[in-house]
Structure 1
Amino acid sequence: MPTVRLGFIGAGGIAGFHLQNLQRVPEAKVVAFADPNLDAAKQRAEQVGLPAREGETVFGDWQLMLERVEMDGVLVLSPHAHHFEQIVAALQRGLHVLAEKPMVVTSEQAQKVVLAARQAGKQVVVSYQRRFTPVFRFIRDQVHKGALGELTFVEAVIGQDWQQLTQGTWRQMPELSGGGMLMDSGSHMVDFVLWTVPNAPVKVSATISQCGAPVEINDIVGVQFSGGALGALIAMGNFTHFMERYTFVGTEGAMWLDRGQVVWQPMGGEQRVVEAKELPPASTPDRHFVDVVLGRVENMSPPEDAFKVVTLTTAAYQAAATGQTVAVPSLPA
């Protein structure tokens, strides 16, 4: 059985999530951790039964890990603003990358990551879990098959007690996070919408509020897609709990996801709840990353798509700051 050797840049809370996923991937072998908090790196090493030897398997400096450890890929799990430098450095060393969302925090950085990956001939997979979750994949597949006809409207809502959960952490420090709720948890919502809608976004308007925080907490983003469809994206960062809801309306019907259930209604027809047996199989970004590295599958979450997410997000921030409608640039050929 082939083995994919992996290093972690970042040993914080999200690293535990990825380690749980990788424990179910027999081809994956975690060989090193790097984190400014060396104790955190050592704890993660112990968690996977890796001898915690400073300068060999655990590092306070991620660059030193890239220099010293033989690896096939790295997971970039650091604060958002650090992603760009770390992703590009890994690619230049011939490593594949699984990057936490958002991939980077500016469209210029995203464009450079796309170019760096192409030049290196290596893969960047962005960890957008909904792309591997059955209910989300089902909706996306049906929209792209034309089951709803031509899309005319999209509504997406994500809510979380994000302001409370992130208070006092780097996620509310703009220089490290790149933004607030929309850049962080809201990134999943933006990605799912852009992945599902066949047409590209062309312009956005937005209103945001900070609710006394250093970054924005609540966002209302209006999107116009090529072809004329409209979108309303709402991120509530001071909600009571985590929730998300999506509605896709087309000329032939509507489909919506609420509380984990997909409901489908043709125009003039009856509503029905999509049954579990109709859904595609589940996976994880980590399982997918290993399969991509081994050449078994095509990359389902490439940097070109992540470019679209960060570009729309930063365009929304610009629209909110200026009170103007802002064009959403596309990736240059």
Structure 2
Amino acid sequence: MLRIGVIGLGNMGTSHADVLARGEVEGGVLAAVCDARPERLEWAREQYGDQVKGFGDAEQMMASGEIDGVVIATPHYDHPPLAIRAFAHGLHVLIEKPAGVYTKQVREMNEAAASAGTVFAIMYNQRTNPLYRKLRDLVESGELGEIRRTNWIITDWYRPQSYYDSGSWRATWEGEGGGVLINQCPHQLDLWHWTTLLKPKRMRAFCRFGKYRNIEVEDEVTAYVEYENGGTGVFIATTAEAPGTNRFEVTGTRGKIVIEDGKMSFWRLRVSEPEFNASYRGLFGKPECWKVEIPVEPGSGPQHKGILQNWTDAVLKGTPLLAPGEDGIHGLMLSNAMLLSTWTDDWVEMPIDEDRFHVELMARIDESRQRRTQGAKA
């Protein structure tokens, strides 16, 4: 059995603890929980019984000998430092998304994971979704040919002002480290990279901060990326559009795939576009195209429980990880690039200047603190 400790009993941490306590992860057992709030520990004792140890300090739990691995479900900034401490104790680690707030911090975490040699995973539960697994399969197998363009419009993250007003830490540079990119879109940014297998070369983005809501971070983003293979991509997101859209379009030399409304459609060319172009001699012809509805397993997959099971199996059986923790840096690199491009009003080469991003982020945290101090004095 893998004895698991959960750090952070917020919404996601509690959900993971419940799944483990109910015995829904084969080979995994909830052995301990950790939270700085005494009332949450008391709740856990009443919910899970005395056999699940409660800790108010993460270091004490890690050093207790009661656990073999940890699930980290704390605020974003805490993910890397807690993971690094866990690795130092020889523990296996599963972190919630995002991997962190800035890639410099996450890179240090990845290096610590490599040195520890334990199993490191990230809660990219959308990788269990049959739609995106099928898309990755079609790209890997060459069905789409060479990818020329990607376009993801993900604007169905509607959040009213009351959502942001529910906690002073929400939508702040110091509390969350960003807005729609870091809080709502980590899964899409990961899937954008994971399904297309493309390497971004440079990014130009336009983020708008507090455009529609009284917040200091981004609530609208439009980004343009150029890939190493010459292809291009667009990513659009906001939390202020209703009803909103979730449409992912990937175009290659052999056709186009669209994922929308839980379905996948493939406009498949009978011959590739370059082949048709080289042989056609008319004026307005185009390749013959067949629209195919791609059969995909029903449902959204095992989601969070699936990642918990996969991580447990990786520890106990050596099963390959579906979402290696080191992969968390890729989606974060995209969101960091979008912010840095906006802050500098310029193109950003990939990989980004991590020191520059950190300096810019810290400057905004300082500005936020000064505004709050001035507001309190007023």
Matched-pair contact (CA < 8 Å) for 1:201–1:223: yes
- Residue 320 of structure 1 aligns to which amino acid in structure 2? T
Q: Are residues 21 and 252 of structure 1, via their aligned partners in 2, closer, same or farther at CA, if it must alter by over 3 Å?
A: farther
Aligned to 2:276: none
Deviations 1:283-325 (A, max 9, x none): 5211111111213311221233211111221111010111101
Question: Do structure 1's residue 161 and structure 2's residue 151 form an aligned pair?
Answer: no
Question: Do structure 1's residue 64 and structure 2's residue 60 form an aligned pair?
Answer: yes
Q: Are residues 314 and 163 of structure 1, via their aligned partners in 2, closer, same or farther at CA, if it must alter by over 3 Å?
A: farther
Residue 68 of structure 1 aligns to a residue in which SS?
coil
Question: What is the percent sequence identity of the aligned residues?
Answer: 27
- Residue 159 of structure 2 aligns to which amino acid in structure 1? W
Aligned to 1:202: 201
Aligned to 2:233: 231
Aligned to 2:170: 171
Aligned to 1:136: 132
- Residue 38 of structure 1 aligns to which amino acid in structure 2? P
Unaligned runs of 5+ in 2: 270-287, 354-378
- Residue 43 of structure 1 aligns to which amino acid in structure 2? W
Which has the larger Rg? 2
Aligned to 1:246: 248
Deviations 1:84-136 (A, max 9, x none): 11010011111111111111111111111111011000122111111111111
Residue 181 of structure 2 aligns to a residue in which SS?
coil
Question: Do structure 1's residue 89 and structure 2's residue 85 form an aligned pair?
Answer: yes
Residue 318 of structure 1 aligns to a residue in which SS?
helix
Unaligned runs of 5+ in 1: none
Aligned pairs (5 A) from 1:183-202: 183-202=182-201
Q: After alignment, is 36-45 or 200-209 more displaced?
A: 36-45
Aligned to 1:10: 8
Cα root mean square deviation, aligned = 2.4
The correspondence for 1:316, drawn from 338, 349, 352, is 338
- Residue 9 of structure 1 aligns to which amino acid in structure 2? I
Aligned residues, how many? 326
Aligned pairs (5 A) from 1:15-26: 15-22=13-20, 23=22, 24-26=24-26
Matched-pair contact (CA < 8 Å) for 2:121–2:326: no
**Displacement of 1:173 after TM fit?**
2.5
- Distance (whole Å) between structure 2 residues aligned to residue 21 and residue 241 of structure 1: 32
Deviations 1:219-239 (A, max 9, x none): 111111110111111111123
**Displacement of 1:18 after TM fit?**
2.1
Aligned pairs (5 A) from 1:85-124: 85-124=81-120
Question: Do structure 1's residue 269 and structure 2's residue 284 form an aligned pair?
Answer: no
- Distance (whole Å) between structure 1 residues aligned to residue 45 and residue 27 of structure 2: 18
Matched-pair contact (CA < 8 Å) for 1:135–1:279: no
Question: Do structure 1's residue 28 and structure 2's residue 53 form an aligned pair?
Answer: no
Question: Do structure 1's residue 182 and structure 2's residue 178 form an aligned pair?
Answer: no
Q: After alignment, is 30-39 or 61-70 more displaced?
A: 61-70
Q: Are residues 5 and 167 of structure 1, via their aligned partners in 2, closer, same or farther at CA, if it must alter by over 3 Å?
A: same
- Distance (whole Å) between structure 2 residues aligned to residue 192 and residue 20 of structure 1: 27
